[in-house]
Structure 1
Amino acid sequence: MIEPTKTVHISQYKNGVITEVEDTTLSEYHLTLYVNGQRQVVISCTPEHLEEMVLGYLLSEGFVKDLSQVEHINFSGDWSLADVWVKQENKPGLVSDCAYVKSNAVFSVSGVIRQFERFIWASRKHYKTGGIHCAVLCDDQDILLLVNDISRHNTIDKIVGMAYKQQIDLDSKYLIISARVPSDMVQKVINCGIPMLVARSLATYEAIQVARRSNLTLVGRIEDKQMKIYSGKQRLK
């Protein structure tokens, strides 16, 4: 498998002069996913935590209602092909039509702000390159998991897969992500039963409507001890 970052020689303009320098950039990996013998998708990703990403994808995209339905995962072609077999297979998106967040978890506003500040520090420190998305799984006390990927959608899948393998209960935790929030990302979080999503940027109108229909707490744009609560304010105290 390729490394998540690589070094390249580039030309750089700085202080009125063009010079030749060495730079660190991101690697892009392509994983083809088969579910029960049917090709489903080619995922462009950062080549780390691939098994966890596949597990999270199966749940967040509605192929299964629970990851215990996954019977077998086999990687081949230097991890470029994943062959997955699941029982009681759903059509993608089937779960999303009726998904509703049932968690009664409550989080402190001060804790969310504190974890967001820690998230900003961690996401800047983790990679030299910039231009990569980061997600963390939190509770009021700790950041439990951190992942990076070139795709913001993949960060959610990787977090979910990691939590499953480490037997971390998702319905009492929340996600912080480095990106703006479209409706399909909100749907991923809902399908996984995570009660709150906190974003560094804004949520789209459609994302807000999906969150409200499904009882997801959606928070965005935390700055200067302030935040936008788009939906689910009952989970914040």
Structure 2
Amino acid sequence: MSTLTVNAPLMKLEITRAVRNKKFLFFSIVYPSALFLMIAGPQKNEIVKGTGLTTAAFYMVAMASFGALTAVLMGNSERIAKEREKGWVRQLRLTTLPGRGYVFAKIASAAVVSLPSIVIVFIVAAASKGVRLDTWQWFALTGVIWAGSLVFAALGVALGYLVSGDAVRPVTMILYFGLSILGGLWMPTTAYPQWLQNIAEWLPTHAYAALGQAIELGNAPGAKDIAILAVYFALFAGGAAWLYRKDTLKA
């Protein structure tokens, strides 16, 4: 029996729980679109320094990436930490579900929920600010932002096993806002001092946003950005797997 078949019931349960969580849906789907309107709405649609993109195009990718980040990071970390404390994870270990299946189900279900947040930001940007792209660009943008969110889904799983239920929210929020702001999702990194720009270009959020920005300019995503995200994914997913095994030994 394949891992996907074994995981299907758990994935369905995770998606159902997320859809029923109104607070989660607001912050992962409505919040990014509202931020786009608040930030890009009042501004003139001029070229953002150092990017070659208009204000609307820049913030469309930034907020779509931010929305996906919210859905996969905030949802996974807190939910897993709480489930560990309540004994739900320990109960799952008594079933036929393999350890990797639990981690896979968390990442995959979070990625499914992140898709609406990306699409809604695109719709709002096109309707309110007149963003226009070729058909292939819309599909490519959706694909790279969705795929890139898996990096942060893995980070969310790792945090869920690393931090206790009481501490997981503040720790996640610090990482969430820190990565978003320093990585250029809330404002262009070209507005930062040079020393901060040098740090930002190695952050996963900076590389994440750069994927979509390249496509908006009609280019292929940069090899450096893809490599940075691949390294972070390996670190986060590997860390999540190691922490899961460590947690199993303590159970």
* TM-score, scaled relative to structure 2: 0.23
Higher relative contact order (CA 8 A, sep 6+): 2
| Structure having the larger proportion of residues in strand | 1
* TM-score, scaled relative to structure 1: 0.24
| Structure having the larger proportion of residues in helix | 2
